[in-house]
A and B are shown apart, each in its own frame.
Chain A
Amino acid sequence: MTQANTIETDIIIIGAGPVGLFAVFEAGLLKLKCHIIDVLPQAGGQLTEIYPKKPIYDIPGYPSVLAGDLVKNLLQQIEPFNPGFTLGERAEQIEKQDDGKWCVTTHRGTKHIAPVIFIAGGLGCFEPRKPPLDNIADFEERGVEYFVKNPEQFNGKNVVIAGGGDSALDWTIYLAEYAKGLTLIHRRTEFRGALDSVEKVQHLAESGRIKLITNAQVVGLQGNGHLQGVDVLHDTEGTIHIDADYFVPLFGLTPKLGPIGEWGLGVNNNAVEVNTFDYSTNVPGVYAIGDINTYPGKLKLILCGFHEATLACQSAFKVVHPDKKLSFKYTTVTGIEGMTPA
Chain B
Amino acid sequence: MQLKYKFILPLALLLSAVMLYPLAFSGWLAFHEYRLTRLDDVHFVGFENFVLIATDPSFLNAMGNTLIFVLGAVSLELVIGLSLALLLQKLNILRNFSRSILLAPMFVTPIAVGLMFRFLLNAELGVIPHYLSKIGITVDWFGPDLALFSLILIDVWQWTPFMLLMFLAGLEALPKTPYEAARVDGAGPWLTFSRITLPMLRSVIVVALIIRALDAFKVFEYVFAITRGGPGNSTETIMYYIYQTGFRFFRMGEAAAAAIMLITVILVLVVLLVKFSQAEEARK
Q: Do chains A and B interact in one complex?
A: no
